[in-house]
Amino acid sequence: MEKRSTKASSNDPKHKHDPDDEDFYLNNDDDEYDDDEDDDNDYDDYMDDTDDLEYTSSNASKYDPTPSVEIFTSQNSTVTPNSSYASTSLKNLSQSTTNQPDLSKSLTKRNIELDEEFKYEVLSPDKIVQYMTECIADVNSVLELTPTITRTLLHHFKWDKEKLMERFYDGDQDRLFREAHIVSPFRPNTYKRTTSSQSTRSSRLKEFCCEICFMQYTEDNMSGLECGHKFCKPCWREYLTTKIMDEGMGQTISCAAHKCDILVDDTSVMTLLQDPIVKIKYQHLITNSFVECNRLMRWCPAPNCSNAIKAQYFDAQPVKCDCGHVFCFSCGELWHDPVKCKWLKKWIKKCDDDSETSNWIAANTKECPKCQVTIEKNGGCNHMICKNQACRSEFCWVCLGPWEPHGSSWYNCNRFNEDDAKKARDAQEKSRHALQRYLHYCNRYMNHHQSLKLEQKLTASIREKMEEMQQHNMSWIEVQFLRKAVEVLCQCRQTLMYTYAFAFYLKRNNHSIIFEDNQADLEIAVEKLSGYLEREITSDNAVETKQKVQDKYRYCEQRRKVLLDHVHEGYDKDYWEYQEDL
């Protein structure tokens, strides 16, 4: 039900990262229900759910795991359904209502003209669990297994239901269970644990030796999985705690016995563990692997936000979390139009190379060749196994090639190579020259980055000015242009910032020259607008100033659109050539 479109977000000048501003909207929205641009549904939703709003908006950004303690047994969620949608609807509503009528009309029009829609939902932690339970129940309605087995199977297929179904019904089921490290529930199990009600008095009194601590225990105190390996409960508890708390394992904890790869199930974990902190961490890890393995989901990267975004298909599109953070669904960075994820990642890595931390990262880490996660090697041999639950690729630390052929042809990553050393020296010469070029782009990128950071300060000072102007002869609605101007300014700065990352990798051709002209034009206009906002707002010549600022921000907006459209057109028509080797 949550509908948003690419352009609505990328052009929507109401984008905010500042949580304070959310309040700002909320406080003021009473004044402006005279909105006719917005979708009726949103409005209805808003009316239906008004009561829940306060609850959601205050809780949306906090991870409160308590309601999910029983996640794996119960499907009830304590959060009122739709409340998270409602709060976003409200934001949408209030955002568009604060637009000046002419502007919002043009925005809406643009959306209709330009867009296929990118649909997504914001899921709170409870919703994530609920969604996971739904996925499991959905599959289970066909497979009819226990939820924990289904969950493990689904995880094995990276939460691709179709793939699981296909393998389950077409392939060798025993093999499937073996691959997923589960004891097949269909196989008559010789080890089947005897429940205490079945066990006779004598066997209950019989003592067993726990192979972990070597202590004697009665059967009541021993426990094990379907595989039949039994250990005493205190050892199990300790084992699970170590795995969960120290090694951060959730999905992939196996039986404690040597060479037994049967995975622990949720019920066992929940009954064996006592410490609620460990239990919560376990659930958190399970949810985490659910989100991370799922291509159509991504955590909101904002600090202290525990929401996730669920999209209908995978694409580099802007998404806005309930916490107000707008980011790219594909890479998780701030929304970075016009530059593409791949180049942005390269660029950010390059920029970061300057700091001490990144020096350390460069010296001590490499990236997994498959999933690009950063890896530190802290000992052992060169046979690396990626710890990223969704990847687990095996590669050689030295050459980063797949591990497989190393058995026979690892000779290539042998010791230091003279030729390579010479090449490295030549490369250094070249890089001196490249550095000059890099600094040119980096300085400009950082400049906008820095200005963006000062956004909060500017917002505050503008708010003061707005108050001041209202003291004089202007109405509330008449001073709204100032906030709009700040938003346009920030948006333009963000775009400009990323144009430098884009331009850095661009090969020079006719279109790149047009692009640079557009960039320069926007930059000049933005600096002027910035100047107006910082200096020339006084209540004396309010009407004149308003006209000037409005003209300028409209011009900026227009230039920004021209620039982005040109880049997008270039993507469609292959104007852009890149310098891969930078």
Partner 1 sequence: MVSIATARIKREFKEVVTSDELTKCKIKLELLNDNFTELKGEIGGPPDTPYEGGTYQLEIKIPETYPFNPPKVRFLTKIWHPNISSVTGAICLDILKDQWAAAMTLRTVLLSLQALLATPEPDDPQDAVVANQYKTNNKIFVKTARHWTNIYAGSTLAAEPEFDSKVKQLIDMGFDNHKSRVALSSHLWNVEHAIESLYN
**Annotated active-site positions, please?**
381
**Distance between CA atoms of residues 286 and 282, nearest Å:** 6
Nearest distance in Å: CB 368, partner 1: 16
First to last CA, the chain: 43
Task: Determine the interface stretch with partner 1 among 52-60, 332-340, 373-381, 500-508 (rule: CB under 8 A).
Answer: 373-381
Taken in order 21, 27, 32, 35, is the CA torsion positive or negative? Answer: positive
Q: Which of 205, 385, 460, 520 binds partner 1 (CB under 8 A)?
A: 385
Least distance in angstroms from the C-beta of 373 to partner 1 = 17
DSSP states of 33-56 as a string? ----SS-HHHHHHHHHHHHHHHHH
Which distant-in-sequence residues (6+ apart) come within 8 Å of 177 by Cβ? 183, 184, 185
Running DSSP on this structure, what letter comes out for residue 401?
A: S
Of 243, 251, 236, 53, nearest in space to 148 by CA:
251
- Rounded to a whole number of angstroms, the minimum distance from the CB of residue 240 to partner 1 is 9
Euclidean distance between CA atoms 552 and 545, whole angstroms: 10
Min separation Cβ 248 and partner 1, Å: 13
Q: How far is the CB of 392 from partner 1 (least distance, A)?
A: 11
Question: Is there binding between residue 391 and partner 1 (CB under 8 A)?
Answer: no
Closest CB to partner 1 among residues 391, 474: 391
Quote the distance between the C-alpha of residue 481 and its chain's center: 33
Q: Smaller CB distance to partner 1: residue 235 or 556?
A: 235
CA 562, chain centre distance (Å): 29
Kindly tell me which of 181 and 350 has the beta carbon lying closer to partner 1: 181
* Residue 59 CB-half CA count within 13 A: 19
Q: In angstroms, what is the minimal distance from the CB of 67 to partner 1? A: 31
Is 238 a binder of partner 1 (CB under 8 A)? yes
**Footprint of partner 1 on 400-439 (CB under 8 A):** 406-408, 410-411, 413-415
Judged by CB under 8 A, does residue 211 bind partner 1?
yes
Interaction of residue 213 with partner 1, rule CB under 8 A: yes
Interface residue with partner 1, options 380, 419, 425, 574 (CB under 8 A): 380
Residue 217 binds partner 1 (CB under 8 A): no
How many Å is the Cα radius of gyration of the chain?
Answer: 29
Backbone angles phi, psi at 252, to 5 degrees: -115, 25
> Which residue type is seen at 379?
G
The answer to whether the beta carbons of residues 395 and 372 sit under 8 Å apart is: no
Pick 409 or 443: Cβ nearer partner 1: 409
Of residues 256-315, those binding partner 1 (CB under 8 A): 256-260
Asked if 388 interacts with partner 1 (CB under 8 A), we say no
List binders of partner 1 among 180-199 (CB under 8 A).
none
214 CA to centre of own chain = 46
Among 158, 181, 193, 229, binds partner 1 (CB under 8 A): 229
Instruction: Assess 379 for contact with partner 1 (CB under 8 A).
Output: yes
Determine the Cα–Cα distance for residues 457 and 533; give it in Å rounded to an integer. Answer: 12
Residues that bind partner 1 in the complex, under the rule CB under 8 A: 211-215, 229, 231, 234-235, 238-239, 242-243, 246, 256-260, 379-383, 385, 398, 406-408, 410-411, 413-415
